[in-house]
Amino acid sequence: MAVAETVDQAREDARWMDRALALAGQAASIGEVPVGAVVVLEGREVGAGFNAPISGSDPTAHAEIRAIRDAACRVGNYRLSGATLYVTIEPCTMCAGAIVHARISRLVYGATEPKAGAVESSAQILDSDAMNWRVATTGGVQAERCSEVISDFFAARRRAAKARRKCSAQAPRPSGP
């Protein structure tokens, strides 16, 4: 790959990761873990999604799954070869499997996920000989920003939980007869 292509690709990756981060913000605004994903085919967005398992009462409603479903519907084919999936955090096992089954050609993610990441962290699903499709991967795109979004979300949740505990501990107790 020529240097100009590499620079152009890095610029495109940053642009689409910005879009995924905006989608992560939508998830956070409804109390969901802030993860966003976008599917790009031939330079245009064909699918987008953000985490919604809580609000949708659907444990499979991860950002990646929702973006892949959206893209497959818009394209009219569940096979999305030639497409790139951008996601703010390293995909889990379920999402890595969906990426393979959808025939996504390239995966670009931001932050690693040490506990559940199935691309490089806790497992390397996409590199498994059992997979019948190879996915090119690029990790660490805007990793610091992506990690910060998740960290800030969970820090805010911990602060809110601590405040609730403190409030309930200070609440007056009803007196007996």
**Residue positions annotated with a catalytic role:** 64
62 is in an annotated binding site: yes
Among the residues of 47-142, which ranges form H helices?
63-75, 93-101
101 annotated as belonging to a binding site for a ligand: no
Q: 103: phi > 0 → left, psi -120 to 50 → alpha, else beta; which?
A: left
Helices (H), 30-111: 63-75, 93-101
What is the Cα 154 distance to its own chain's centre?
15
CA atoms of 116 and 92, how far apart (whole Å): 5
User: Does the annotation place 167 within a ligand binding site?
Assistant: no
Taking a C-beta distance cutoff of 8 angstroms, is the pair 110, 88 a contact?
Answer: yes
- Residue 106: CA count within 13 A, CB half-sphere: 13
Residue numbers in the known binding site are 62, 92, 95
Residue numbers in the known binding site for Zn(2+) are 62, 92, 95
